[in-house]
Amino acid sequence: RHRITSVQRVRLLDTYRRTRFPSRRLQTALAEELGLPLRSVQIWFQNQRQLNKTAATTTTSDIANENEVQ
C-alpha cells in the first residue's frame, strides 16, 4: 500500500480538475512523474470519483430534507 504525499495529492487533484477520466497514457505519465505504481494512480482516481459522487448525493439529500422540513 502506498501513501500519497501532499505534493502528489496536489498534482493528482490538479489533473482530476481537468479530467475525471484520464487516459491510460496520462495515468502512466503521472505514475512515473510521482513515483507511484500505475495501479495506485488508477485507484486514486476511482476513489476520488466515488467520493465526489457520494458528496453530491449527500448534498442533494440534505437539500431535499431541508425542503421537507419547511
- Any domain includes 63: yes
Owning domain of residue 18: 6-69
Q: Per-residue confidence at 70, pLDDT binned at 50, 70, 90?
A: low
- Any domain includes 56: yes
Greatest pairwise CA separation for the chain in angstroms: 52
- Any domain includes 1: no
Q: Per-residue confidence at 18, pLDDT binned at 50, 70, 90?
A: very high
- Any domain includes 33: yes
- Tally Cβ neighbours within 10 Å of residue 65: 9
pLDDT at position 59 is: 67
Number of domains in the chain: 1
Per the CB < 8 A criterion, the answer to whether 30 and 12 are in contact is yes
pLDDT at position 61 is: 61
pLDDT at position 1 is: 77
Q: Residue 10 CA to chain centroid, in angstroms?
A: 11
CATH code (residue 63): 1.10.10.60
- In the DSSP assignment, the letter for residue 21 is S
Q: Per-residue confidence at 64, pLDDT binned at 50, 70, 90?
A: low
- Any domain includes 48: yes
Cα separation of 7 and 13, whole Å? 10
